């Protein structure tokens, strides 16, 4: 379980953060200032509780974490 959690976190959170950071110079230089990250309702506490979702904990936690990371980028930039 811990290996899968780490793998999902690296892919869904760390990978997204590195990708955004790699493209920041292009975003800053361009006219359109948009960065789109695809997430999932599985990262939403409200959705999980409303639908009684107990499976895929690592995926859900990584999607919640990427939602927070993207929100932090949005506020900062």
Which one from 63, 71, 72, 76 is the annotated catalytic residue? Answer: 63
CA distance between the termini of the chain: 35
Three-state SS annotation for 4-43: HHHHHHHHHHHHHHHHHHHHHHHHHHCCCCCCCCCCCHHH
Which one from 40, 47, 50, 76 is the annotated catalytic residue? Answer: 40
Which one from 3, 10, 47, 59 is the annotated catalytic residue? Answer: 59
Q: Is 63 one of the catalytic residues?
A: yes
User: Active-site residues: which are they?
Assistant: 40, 59, 63
């Amino acid at each position: 379980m811990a290996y899968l959690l780490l793998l999902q976190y690296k892919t869904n959170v760390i990978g997204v953060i590195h990708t955004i950071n790699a493209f920041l110079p292009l975003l800053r230089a361009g006219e359109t200032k948009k960065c789109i990250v695809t997430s999932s309702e599985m990262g939403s506490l409200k959705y999980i509780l409303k639908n009684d979702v107990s499976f895929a904990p690592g995926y859900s936690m990584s999607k919640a974490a990427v939602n927070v990371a993207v929100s932090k980028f949005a506020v900062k930039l």
